[in-house]
């Protein structure tokens, strides 16, 4: 009997996680366009569902039975939702960097502890040995990988991460790729430990780039545009 009770609650918990991101998915489709531009003005007027989603995440933290992809999807979505909520709480603003230490504000409760965006990124996501997370999390800025207008789900996470990575690498506003000259986003410099040495980095970029790069290609890094990834409504 005890085994049945434990199995029942564990199974229900796992099943519920499959739907926990549906609110976030619906909100993204309403307020984010296909280019990743966010209608913060309208979202700020209708932010109750976002607040509900964040509460649901806090009340349903990862458990031991989760797969790696379950946890990756949870924390990628959490990072993006917390970032959007931070912008909405301070909107209007020109840039997330107008805020004081935005990545060190304790904005999310994980079990019994309030944590920061910095903690989610560096102490959780980067520890999971998945460099593609850098193209899934969004810092509300124009040079960031775009905020996708769908939630990340564990059952299709591999395709979602591959698509986000390919889209970012081949976006000529984020990276400028030629056969013998490579101008990359500073993301590749800031997180170089996650991509390895130069040969490993070029191999990673070549996996997704439509233009193949030579091993002796010179690498430079582009300036980063921290202006808000806002959709302007006429």
Q: What is the pLDDT along the chain (234 residues), one digit of tens a residue?
A: 444 334 333 444 444 556 899 999 999 999 999 999 999 999 999 999 999 999 999 999 999 999 999 999 999 999 999 999 999 999 999 999 999 999 999 999 999 999 999 999 999 999 999 999 999 999 999 999 999 999 999 999 999 999 999 999 999 999 999 877 899 999 999 999 999 999 999 999 999 999 989 888 889 999 999 999 998 765
Domain of 67? 2-166
Has residue 188 been placed in a domain?
Answer: no
How many domains is the chain partitioned into structurally? 1
Has residue 200 been placed in a domain?
Answer: no
Has residue 124 been placed in a domain?
Answer: yes
Has residue 175 been placed in a domain?
Answer: no
The candidate with the shortest Cα–Cα distance to 197, out of 169, 219, 213, 176, is 219
At 112 the three-state DSSP class reads: coil
Return left, alpha or beta for 220; rule: phi > 0 is left, psi -120 to 50 is alpha, else beta.
beta
Has residue 43 been placed in a domain?
Answer: yes
Cα–Cα distances in angstroms (integers) from residue 123 to residues 116, 117, 128, 144, 211, in the given order: 10, 10, 9, 20, 34
Q: How far apart are CA 125 and CA 116, in angstroms?
A: 13
Has residue 85 been placed in a domain?
Answer: yes
Has residue 187 been placed in a domain?
Answer: no
Identify the sign of the CA torsion 41, 45, 50, 55: positive
């Amino acid at each position: 009997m005890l085994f049945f009770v434990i199995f029942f609650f564990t199974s229900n918990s796992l099943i519920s996680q499959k739907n926990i991101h549906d609110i976030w998915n619906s909100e993204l489709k309403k307020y984010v366009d296909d280019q990743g531009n966010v209608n913060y003005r309208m979202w700020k007027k209708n932010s109750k569902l976002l607040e509900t989603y964040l509460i649901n995440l806090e009340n349903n933290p990862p458990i031991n039975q989760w797969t790696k992809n379950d946890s990756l999807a949870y924390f990628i979505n959490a990072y993006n939702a917390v970032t959007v909520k931070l912008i909405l709480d301070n909107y209007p603003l020109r840039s997330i960097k107008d805020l004081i230490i935005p990545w060190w504000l304790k904005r999310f409760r994980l079990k019994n502890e309030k944590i920061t965006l910095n903690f989610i990124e560096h102490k959780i996501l980067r520890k999971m040995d998945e460099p593609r997370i850098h193209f899934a999390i969004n810092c509300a800025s124009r040079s960031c990988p775009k905020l996708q207008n769908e939630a990340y789900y564990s059952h299709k996470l591999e395709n979602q991460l591959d698509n986000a990575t390919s889209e970012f690498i081949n976006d000529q506003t984020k990276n400028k790729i030629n056969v013998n000259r490579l101008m990359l986003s500073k993301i590749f410099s800031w997180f170089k430990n996650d991509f390895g040495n130069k040969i490993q980095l070029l191999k990673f970029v070549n996996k997704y780039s439509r233009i193949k790069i030579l091993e002796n290609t010179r690498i430079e890094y582009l300036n980063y545009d921290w202006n808000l990834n806002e959709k302007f409504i006429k």
